[in-house]
């Protein structure tokens, strides 16, 4: 197996001793024989390699991670797949990642020893947020921030690792058990991850808030008997304040942690830089002003509110009945002079606005969001990076835009934004698959309504003879009912005409003609009628029929005349 020490992979990396083990991978120390440097080799489980979609996504995400170079991020040097032979002789593809070797300890091992001092927790979380600020600007969302993915070096430096692996697995058909293992326990899920919604940079900030809570208290904010129970708490339960578990924590730190753990992603921190600023402020013993003004009376009592001297003076003037106005009113001419001045200023401003020539030049400190429609995400990301804009990917089904191509951006193309703005790139997942409803034996109007309600289009109508199904009732559809089709696909109908095809029965015996009319394919009603004007013949052949050959209404009565003289 590849886990054996001394094995050479990719022709250059010598596998050394095991230094870490996880739910989805084993980590070995290794040597790059070509460059002569020590590396860490992460060998992912062979069960993942059975999914071709994972292998493709894994390569793409490893390439994205390899482009990131920052002191707070564990560098990715190489990634690929190694063909190994199992004990039963079966060959499998085993994904591997070659990373920078960090001499240090995992944060999860440090937390096991007990809560950290506030100053140390603030220092470590600042390093994590610095790494996330860099990755988010590059359009990479980690998705799996947890103490097991944070290293602290011997000199105290913070290193975040495993960028992109969570995305590679969550976007493939791996099982729920595998996905949960690679993402760690549900203790670090954001509410949107627990609900299966799309994630963005704010998901990483929620998980970072969970890590900060755990460093301060020694345990995550939510615990339960199962991952489902913990995920439910992330969605619906209010976390305890860290100070209720560790009295040494200040109200300022409580404020920052609870703001980071807001259920609504729009109510929590919107960027890593904003989060880091508030952490530094709280670490210095001050409640962040923005948070204090929002008010948190339900948690810490009345929040401090900054009130200016002029506001206090106005408040005193309105509430103190002992204060008496002594200033005389201004002369009337002053009032009119003031009114005229205001009118002149308003007219001048309106004239300036209407004569203002709009400029098409974009300021040097601004950027215009380009049109990325039809591009693949990687090309769109490169286009934005050239403009100093970061990208974050979101997915949406589309019946018109092929899968993998950009539908639109938020903000839309042409919008003027500041440099480093994060642009959401909406990528098509293709037309949404829907089940074609079974509308057989429904009237045509009802069937069309059901088909269109399912997101499909009503197509052509073909009429076909049937002895039993009433007119304008559906016989079948194309595509057939209960099959799968893309949203917006045309569904064609075959409906009953209410008719059957009558053949020429003249010359056939009366009994044979009667049997043909009564057969299940016609279900017409034979009515024999003797004719004494002609001489009878053996078999009583039919000489006339009341309905001409061709299409006739269902269950019609057909008079068969035969000679009986």
What ranges do the domains of the chain cover? Answer: 8-100, 104-295, 367-428, 433-497, 500-563
Which pLDDT score, from 0 to 100, does residue 83 have? 78
Three-state SS for 291?
Answer: helix
In angstroms, the CA 58 to CA 64 distance is 10
Domain 104-295 class?
mainly alpha
**104-295 and 500-563 in the same fold:** no
What is the reported pLDDT for 304?
38
**Catalytic site residue from 88, 103, 109, 144:** 144
Which pTM does this prediction carry?
0.51
- The torsion angle over the Cα atoms of residues 284, 288, 289 and 291, rounded to 10 degrees, is -160
- CATH 3.10.300.10 is right for the domain spanning 500-563: no
CB within 8 Å of 278: residues ≥ 6 apart:
256, 259, 269, 288, 290, 291
What is the model's pLDDT at position 356?
64
Distance between CA 489 and CA 334 in Å, rounded?
Answer: 75
Question: How many angstroms separate the CA atoms of 495 and 429, rounded?
Answer: 35
CATH topology of domain 433-497: Trypsin Inhibitor V; Chain A (3.30.10)
The topology (CATH level 3) of 367-428 is Trypsin Inhibitor V; Chain A (3.30.10)
Mean pLDDT per segment of 10 residues, for the chain of length 565 residues?
67 88 80 90 75 69 75 87 75 83 92 94 96 89 90 93 64 42 67 88 95 96 88 91 94 95 94 94 84 40 37 39 45 75 87 66 71 90 84 84 90 83 87 88 94 90 94 94 84 94 92 93 93 89 93 94 89
Q: 499-502 and 474-478: which strand pairing?
A: unpaired
Q: CA–CA distance from 107 to each of 142, 212, 385, 543 (Å)?
A: 17, 11, 32, 102
Q: Is 26 assigned a catalytic role?
A: no
CB 187 within 8 A of CB 222: yes
CATH of domain 8-100: 3.30.200.20
């Amino acid at each position: 197996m590849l886990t054996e020490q001394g094995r050479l992979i990719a022709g250059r990396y010598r596998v050394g001793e095991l230094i870490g083990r996880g739910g989805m991978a084993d980590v070995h120390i290794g040597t790059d024989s070509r460059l002569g440097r020590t590396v860490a080799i992460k060998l992912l489980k062979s069960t993942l390699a059975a999914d071709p979609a994972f292998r493709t996504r894994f390569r793409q995400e490893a390439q994205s991670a390899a482009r990131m170079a920052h002191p707070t991020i564990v560098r990715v040097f190489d990634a690929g797949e190694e063909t190994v032979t199992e004990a039963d002789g079966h060959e499998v593809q085993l994904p591997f990642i070659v990373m920078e070797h960090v001499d240090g300890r995992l944060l999860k091992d440090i937390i096991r020893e007990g809560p950290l001092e506030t100053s140390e927790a603030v220092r470590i979380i600042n390093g994590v947020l610095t790494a996330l600020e860099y990755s988010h600007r590059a359009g990479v969302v980690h998705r799996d921030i947890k103490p097991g993915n944070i290293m602290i070096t011997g000199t105290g430096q913070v290193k975040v690792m495993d960028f992109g692996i969570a995305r590679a697995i969550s976007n493939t058909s791996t099982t729920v058990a595998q996905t949960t293992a690679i993402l760690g326990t549900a203790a670090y899920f954001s509410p949107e991850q627990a609900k299966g919604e799309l994630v963005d940079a704010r998901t990483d900030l929620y998980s970072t808030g969970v890590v900060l809570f755990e460093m301060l208290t020694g345990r995550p904010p939510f615990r339960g008997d199962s991952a489902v129970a913990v995920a439910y708490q992330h969605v619906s339960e209010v976390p305890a304040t860290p100070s209720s578990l560790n009295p040494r924590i200040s109200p300022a730190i409580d404020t920052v942690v609870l703001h980071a753990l807001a259920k609504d992603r729009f109510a929590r921190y919107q960027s890593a830089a904003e989060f880091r600023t508030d952490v530094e402020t709280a670490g210095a013993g001050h409640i962040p002003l923005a948070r204090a003004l929002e008010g948190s009376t339900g948690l810490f009592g009345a929040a401090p509110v900054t009130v200016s001297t002029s506001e206090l003076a106005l408040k005193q003037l309105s509430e103190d009945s002992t204060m008496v106005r002594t200033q005389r009113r201004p002369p009337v001419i002053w009032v009119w002079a003031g009114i005229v001045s205001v009118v002149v200023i308003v007219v001048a401003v309106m004239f300036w606005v209407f004569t203002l020539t709009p400029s098409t030049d974009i300021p040097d400190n601004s950027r215009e969001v380009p049109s990325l429609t039809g591009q693949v995400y990687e090309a769109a990301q490169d286009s934005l990076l050239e403009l100093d804009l970061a990208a974050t990917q979101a997915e949406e089904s589309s019946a018109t835009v092929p899968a993998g191509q950009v539908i639109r951006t938020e903000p839309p193309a042409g919008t003027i934004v500041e440099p480093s703005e994060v642009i959401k790139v909406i990528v098509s997942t293709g037309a949404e698959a829907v089940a074609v409803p079974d509308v057989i034996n429904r009237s045509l109007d009802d069937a069309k309504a059901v088909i269109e309600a399912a997101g499909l289009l009503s197509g052509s109508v073909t009429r076909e003879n049937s002895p039993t199904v009433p007119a304008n009732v559906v016989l079948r559809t194309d595509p057939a009912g209960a099959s799968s089709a893309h949203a917006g696909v045309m569904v064609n109908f075959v409906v009953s005409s209410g008719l059957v095809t009558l053949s020429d029965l003249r010359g056939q015996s009366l009994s044979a003609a009667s049997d043909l009319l009564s057969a299940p394919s016609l279900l017409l009603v034979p009515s024999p009628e003797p004719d004494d004007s002609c001489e009878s013949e053996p078999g009583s052949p039919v000489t006339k029929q009341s309905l001409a050959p061709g299409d006739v209404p269902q269950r019609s009565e057909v008079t068969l005349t035969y000679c009986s003289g």
